[in-house]
């Protein structure tokens, strides 16, 4: 049973969330709180497994409360917020501070998928391993040191992640050089959020990072993030790779789906691809990573210790999809070493 505390200043929202979550037999609402001060007392007294948290509240805002909570008494937190353009930056900050997931608050900006996303987020949070804020950065994680001379024109790097993936993707991309192969990324997140995510990564990484648009070219030095609520498919167009952004039914209850991206990478790039599956709840991407490995691609899964939720990597490892299982901070170096080794092998056989 997952014991949930709901924190929101709106009585209507508290009621709606409680009613929705109470429909599921594995979730118990143990209390609600109108603001962080009331929440603090109930956390100590009720010891919830997961807390939902609004961002904009009186007396103390949700971000300030989250920062204090993750520093002194970390518990799994799902932020439930109105993800307007104004609030998306604050929502992303919540993930940086240690929130497990960010979900759109029921209302004007929600979608028919919002209730399902909320339940998935609560379950993912319950399976997560929250860390104190000062311990959140993986040991040894550093930015790529100087230029790396690798030819990557015909290579594609495909990455998939879910719960905990925003920080994991940041750590991975920051550790890669500007000459990284053309990179395609699926991160499960609300559609109001992916553009902000890409923009923030672009400010921190050596390569260019942007939200993907239909028919964008996949070229070295550029990373494309799949837009929320749209699948991203890799295709070959003559001598170049492009992405197609499309609708379609969710796969593993997800749109975008990692499996959709990975299977399309097999069809279009085959052994010229590298596949990485990172932290996340569920099994999305496991079968696709296996197909990538079977086609000759180099594949990596994040290890359990560095994963926020060891779901997607675990399923991939069980299938034998991962050639290597590595801590997050070692994955960038492994990618670079593999590309250098392939280049050296190609040079010897030329």
Please list the active-site residues: 162, 188, 284
Cα→Cα distances 224→157, 214, 246, 330, Å: 10, 11, 15, 22
For residues 140 and 170, the answer to whether their CB atoms sit within 8 Å is no
For residues 11 and 135, the answer to whether their CB atoms sit within 8 Å is no
Residue of 176, 175, 171 lying closest to 221 (CA atoms): 176
User: For residue 81, with 0-12 CB atoms within 10 Å meaning exposed, 13-18 middle and 19 or more buried, which class applies?
Assistant: buried
For residues 183 and 160, the answer to whether their CB atoms sit within 8 Å is no
3-state secondary structure (DSSP) of residue 325: strand
Sheet containing 182-187: give its strands across.
208-211, 222-225, 182-187, 156-161, 273-277, 298-302, 324-326
Residue 106 Rama label (left phi>0; alpha psi -120 to 50; beta)? beta
Biggest CA-to-CA distance, the chain: 70
- Per-position b or e across 133-170, b if 16+ CB within 10 A of its CB: beeeebeebeebeeebebebeebbbbbbbbbbbbbbbb
Residue with tokens 């900006």: 109
């Amino acid at each position: 049973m997952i014991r949930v505390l709901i924190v929101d200043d709106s009585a209507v929202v508290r009621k709606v969330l409680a009613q929705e979550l109470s429909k599921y037999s594995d979730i118990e609402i143990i209390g609600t709180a109108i603001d962080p001060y009331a929440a603090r007392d109930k956390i100590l007294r009720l010891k919830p497994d997961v807390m939902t948290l609004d961002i904009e509240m009186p007396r103390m805002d949700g971000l300030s409360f989250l920062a204090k909570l993750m520093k002194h008494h970390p518990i799994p937190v799902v932020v439930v917020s109105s993800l307007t353009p104004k609030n998306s930056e604050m929502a992303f900050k919540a993930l940086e501070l240690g929130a497990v997931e960010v979900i759109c608050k029921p209302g004007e900006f929600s979608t028919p998928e919002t209730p399902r996303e909320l339940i998935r987020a609560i379950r993912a949070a319950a399976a997560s391993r929250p860390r104190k804020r000062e311990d959140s950065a993986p040991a040894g994680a550093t930015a790529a040191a100087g230029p790396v001379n690798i030819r990557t024109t015909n290579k594609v790097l495909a990455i998939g992640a879910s719960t905990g993936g925003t920080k994991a993707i940041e750590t991975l991309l920051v550790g890669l050089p500007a000459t990284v192969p053309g990179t395609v990324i699926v991160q499960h997140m609300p559609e109001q959020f992916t553009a902000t995510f890409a923009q923030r990564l672009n400010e921190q990484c050596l390569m260019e990072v942007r939200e993907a648009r239909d028919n964008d070219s996949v070229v070295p030095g550029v990373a494309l993030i799949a837009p929320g609520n749209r699948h991203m498919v890799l295709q070959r167009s003559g001598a170049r790779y492009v992405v197609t952004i499309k609708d379609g039914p969710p796969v593993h209850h997800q749109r975008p789906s990692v499996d959709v991206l990975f299977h399309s990478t097999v069809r279009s790039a085959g052994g010229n691809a590298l596949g990485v599956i990172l932290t996340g709840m569920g099994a999305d991407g496991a079968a696709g990573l296996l197909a990538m490995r079977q086609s000759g691609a180099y594949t990596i899964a994040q290890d359990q210790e560095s994963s926020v939720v060891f779901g997607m990597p675990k399923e991939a490892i069980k299938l034998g999809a991962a050639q290597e299982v590595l801590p997050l901070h070692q994955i960038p170096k492994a990618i670079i070493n593999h590309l250098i080794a392939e280049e050296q092998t190609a040079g010897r056989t030329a």
